[in-house]
Amino acid sequence: MKQHEWRPAAGSRRSRKRVGRGPGSGLGKTAGRGENGQKSRSGYSRKLGFEGGQMPLHRRVPKRGFTNIFRVEYRTVNVERLNAFGAGAVVTPESLREAGLLRKGGRGVKVLGGGDLQVALTVRAHKFTEAAVRKIEGAGGKAELLTA
């Protein structure tokens, strides 16, 4: 096959629709826009959430409270899940992620006090609950706070 023989795949290219070019084209007069109405006019663009003049849903629903834009979402892990690590291990957010104990998202890691810990570990996280610190230190480990 030579370069002058190249052709696009059959049916992959279509000529553009030329509207308003007389009755013989099948798209003359109203140019495929139907008869009258707002959508048939030039310059029409539908506003987001517009419901034809009816009060839009986002204005009908009552508004409550506010969203704190400075809120920090923490990924959580229970103390019981830390038994997966060997004795004397240093547990960091990275090692938790590699072990598959953390979900995606969030900006920090918080260790919760659910379950019991049988292994002495050094746990480094951004936050701890009181129960988590008590259980980590009770098993002979250390709970170290990381700064954001």
Domain count, the chain: 2
* Same domain assignment for residues 54 and 81: no
Is residue 14 domain-resident? no
* Same domain assignment for residues 60 and 78: no
Q: Domain range for residue 25?
A: 20-65
Terminal-to-terminal C-alpha distance of the chain: 62
Reported as a single tens digit per residue, the pLDDT across 91-123 is 999 999 889 998 887 789 999 999 999 999 999
Residue 144's Cβ-count burial label (10 Å; 0-12, 13-18, 19+) is middle
Q: What would you report as the CA-atom Rg of the chain, rounded to the nearest whole angstrom?
A: 32
* Same domain assignment for residues 58 and 117: no
Is residue 52 domain-resident? yes
What is the model's pLDDT at position 103? 83
* Same domain assignment for residues 60 and 82: no
Reported as a single tens digit per residue, the pLDDT across 18-66 is 999 999 999 999 999 999 988 899 999 989 999 989 999 999 999 999 9
Degrees, nearest 5: CA angle 145-147-148 = 130
Does the predicted TM-score (pTM) go above 0.85? no
- Angstrom distance (rounded) from CA 74 to CA 126: 8
